Structure 1
């Protein structure tokens, strides 16, 4: 009973507590409603009091919040001020109404973020309302939201939904609204401090940077860029970027650079460049600024700036100007450190001279010389050398620019931890370039072959047309003759048809073989049947159908009857010659080659691809037949030889009987490469087998013994089996009549096609170059300029009033240099003159594209090669005459193959000679055109003069551009130096660290619009104004650049991404402190040093004060 009473009391107390809590929440909501109405009226009054710039700034935030397209934004800013204020009021009222309808307390927002963490639709709705509340409520509401852990919940949402390369649209929207909530939360001093105190906040925020999601990237950069101007914010941003780069295995600035290079939206480009300027500008040390700038340049920033500088929008143009001004200011400071000399730090020679001056006659000279010697050992490869130097450059950068600004412990033997992965990855580009070059080379080679093939086909077509015309004439004659005979038969009587007069069996017609590549022409040549007459019973006979011509012989008397002594014209692969097996035979009827055409089934089979050692072994096992010849026990050598060939036994090799051992050895190696019996090789030579390679034939000719040795072998041929393998082979193949001459003509036939392929493009290239040089109006005009300049300069000398000059002089224009400026030559002056008065002439190299290639073509070489072709053709013609009168071997196809080759080769050779004659005429005309003596000047020398002039002209043009840029930089540097001196004389106030804002100086925690104000100062360039009046340090003199005799060592840190200059003290080898190395403390004055040491002792531990 007592238990039930106590339970009922507990329920009543719980119900009362819940009711009181509800009443309290209602009271809070009511208070908030009243407060909100007052807040809305206050906001509307503030809009009425805003200036034009403040309205535009708020209007910019409104347009970003509404996510309007870029092209519609500019028109809104052109409206009158009152209309823009009305737009802001309407927008603020709508946001206020939406916030009031879904009104939630700070704690409810935190709970809703946690509850809807995995539901994108609900989360988007919560984030939309939260952004409105953060931007409209007082700072006190924001502080309460932070006290409940709201900013940590936002970071948790961002961390949970962020991932590399987000594709889902809802996820993108969640991240976008979450980033905007964080930006609104940080847009006041309290929120900014809260987020900076969170260790993972900036790391999580910068982790959503993605070049593919430009809206999110722009909003994140609008947060990160102002933070860089806050004290310690620059370090935190770089640390967060470095951490994200390590986590995602990429460069820390890669997303920003990718977005900058890939996007075409001016707003994104402007945001990226604004962030880059905010990263580069804050550090005091110019070495650190140069280091950061170089990191962006390596990612392609300079190429982007050069490309976009002419078409940049207004906002982007402001950022471009800021970037270039900061860069030039750092360059001037860098120059002022080194002697104050206006030297060009982009010029290799001047930088090298500075380094020589620094190290000369010091202990650093030998290591410096060793470095240069090692650089000379870099592999001399066009693609590899740049990769080596990039790798070395990155190593030096990471070693020299160290965090802490102290020297390494030179006695520490641990290797430097150098990050070379990006460069190693880029080496893949080299392989791709090599592949592209190889592909281009193959395409060029194919093009040459196709051009020569076309030339061949045209020649063969011309020959075939002539043959068809002669055949048509013969057929017309036969037709008329037989028509007369038919008329006589129709009149009646017994008529025995006689043979056609003068065109019968004794007729010989020179019909060359149709080219094998023109099957359609071959089809037009009918095969006439044999001439017969049909005798009937009685005293008369009826003539047979019109007879054909008898078998037609070619010029050399070789019968052209197809199907008897000639091979089939279809292109069949050579059958593999297999070793004879002792197996049963398959007695099939063999289909011969001349019985097939291209469409035959057998012509398509490639049964040799199916061969397998296991299959062959099984065949031997199942169908092998025993019965080998017994071997005598007295046999010392186990050989299997016959007159068709012999093979070396496994026990002993026969010693040479007649030939020299070296010759036998070379011939044996040659035979092993072919692995065929001797008789088969002889048959292959007789039948002109295409499987005999060019290299094999050349080696055979090279190793053939002289006639004396061959005669000696013939005297011992009765002892054939006792001879060496090479000697047996020579005995077998020397049975071929005129063997050496035959082999040489076979070699010529195999080389002929390649010779034509190489000759024709060279001939056409020279013809094209002659035409380009003679018909180039720009080149002629430039020669006219040179003649004018020379006549002016040579006035009063023997060369005055010249009508022209030798083209060789074009290569010596660089030898004449200016009197006052030795770096300017006559060629530089010519280029400058053309730039001023006739800039179109600078493009003249485009009209002489073939000159470079033609300068490598030798006239004598062309002449000798064409002569060699003609000698080879004459040799074949003479050999065919000898062949016709000699004995015939049934397997000998030399006459047939060579006759067909001779027909096509003569046509191609005639065309080549014609082309060569045209080239000679063009060259002679060109030499006459420039009044050059053909006895003293060769074709290649003339083209070489023009080629070298074109190269020197392009080089001079590049030198002029570099000289202009150098002069501009010197003028700007001089102008800025004068301005700085003027400003320094007018004010003695030393400027503090540029662009850095101390949050303690920004009022209390209720200061709002902090990020917006900083972002506006970055956008307009006001944040960078003090950068350009940075006080200069006194320039070092060259003798002060020499190190003192006091050695010093420091510790080194190898993480270049976290590099930050630190002016901590250097120490001597014995551990005693040493002053920082600067121009004020190199004179080794003990009093000054003692004063500085006393000052150091008064500093607290871990101080980062500077003494520069």
Structure 2
């Protein structure tokens, strides 16, 4: 190659603009991919001119045909030994120059070398075959003499010809090399000349030339499609030079990783087995592997090739088959001896192979274990189904017990209310009697005191006592002197006044008496009897007794919580009368709450629309008399009973449910004869037509219509047959409502949750709407609509956070709300209607039994009456659900169980999701915090950051190692695989979970 000095850029005109066209052609000459060629075209003219100058300064030293002519000269058998010796001395130099040209020249030169005119690949493969033949002859024992070598060469040549003639196997490419042996028997001159070739590095350099050709996509495809190229490369393993053998194995391993290359490599080793008379494939390779224990590079390349050729296939059966081939050749034993080698490279490759190995015995054992595990899983699933059924039974029993206890509690509450009323009445009477006794005692004491005072006054001469004819005692005041002891006439007046109430005293005075005390005031009137007018007064008093809540002043403007508030006169007797939301506000961190929910805009008004129930109208299909379809359907129904018409009619008359299943009777209810049908059948009978001429359905209808009170009998049979099922269906529904009502009303944790919600809602709304004393339960659904300033948290999320931080004992409040999900699916109105219908059905049975003495109906009444009474009592008890609705400030008329309980179901579900959302948000915040700390640490410590980057790069390299791609035969692929693909990192085979079972016959080949 020669270079010239730089040239100045010419002035660009329309005439010389074509001078820049070679820059576009250089994209093809340099074999650039399309994206690089487009980038090349975007360069400015100055940059293009520099590339043009570089392209023109670069000149190829020799054209391709020069090397081809020299190689053909080496292969000419007519050349004299002296001339051949002179040429052979320069063959290695020529091959090295050819390898450099193939590796460094542009793609155009390589294409010219490989085109149909020069056929450089054929010549190169022929020379490799010639050189390898010489090496083999010398390797097999030229020291034994030329005659022996000549016989060896002839036998080898004949064996190749035989393979060429008999090579019908498409997978074995052994026949393709026969042309390379010239098709003629080796002569003594060739054997002598081969000694000169065997002492050179021509085989090694030929392999390097082929490697350079295969590095281009065009050359790779030619080598892969060549009849003998890969076979000759594989046969080059028969070489004394370990470096050459390592180079061959590296190239073959790279080809294995290219799509479609693995099959070609195995075919080449099949050819190797035939040519080298191996008993087993890879026998020579293992022989070299064991013998070259002193050359670490060859052993590393050999171990690497074995690892790739065995474990680069996806089919598990085939992979185990290849693995077993090397196991038979003693690879496992040799690796066991060599795994403690001092060479780290070899140790890594050995360990990589052992990591990729499939333990077939272990897999079979795992398969058996899996089968046992699957059987165990099946048993556990069956056991789980039984346990689930038992759990449902236990749950139903528990719900029934809870309902029974709730009914007992309600009964006891009624008794307690009666006792309280009796106690209050009795207490009032006792209090009245005690007051009367006290008054009598006080009057008697006063009477005694007065008598004492009168006696004292008489003794003092102030008064005179004399008995009147009518029995009264007259008191006469004596005049003339003052009363003794400071007593005055006023005192005497008081004494006489106090005794006048008791009778028997009469006072007479001789002179006017001054300062007589007035009589005592009359006692207060009795309290009025309760009336309707007092209720409004009491409600006003209750309303006045409610403490007016003060407005709350917030630091920031908060969004409005659009709840439905209860009026102050509506909270009496509800749960909100028992909670104190102002106390909760004292316990919470309201500054944080304001920071989260402060806003400048009003929150969106939630439009709550009540769903309207749709009434489904059943369309009754009218059937014509004795219609063909009706007769056909009746025939199908009668065939289900598998009984005669007489047997069916008799069973209906005797209410025999053992003879007639309930399902059949229900189907038969659809075929009750209409009036027109009965008229038609009676007319047929009046005409005395023979019944035998009637069809079976018509005959059945005739006898069927003659049954007395047919409709009532069929209804009774249906009722009796379905009674137990109806009771079993309605009882759990009533129990669910009773138990759920009790759990909701008696839950202290739910009461505390409502208290927190009321406190936060008042805190948000107080400045705009004022504080309220309670809210409708439907307001719980709006907790998700009120969001924080950043729209990332709802009010329910904040409540869940407050519960976790301040009231952890409330976190599982929903565990106290039993059976609310079951009660939410119950329509109490429909259940009560069904209970009422059962009562009507039982009355019908009683009337029938009173008219006609039926043993079946009597037995039914004896066993079922108690069940119906209990169900009716449960229905009345379930109506106590109204008390629970009133307790939560709702109206029983507008809030049935199907509306009341789903509120709690939705709230519980939303609360759990809010708790989970808070946990996820906390994890994200922690991850973000760790990321920020890591970034700060990186900025503070550059050395640590570099170490982390190196660690990340190492992890990525390991991840890439675990997910090796399937290479395509593109430009640079072979070189990338050899130099960068596995030169430093061992191959890790694909492992699809090792779940597929391995066929045993592959393991025994």
TM-score with structure 2 setting the length: 0.38
TM-score with structure 1 setting the length: 0.35
Greater gyration radius: 2
Question: Greater helix percent: which structure?
Answer: 2
Greater RCO structure (CA 8 Å; 6+ sep) = 1
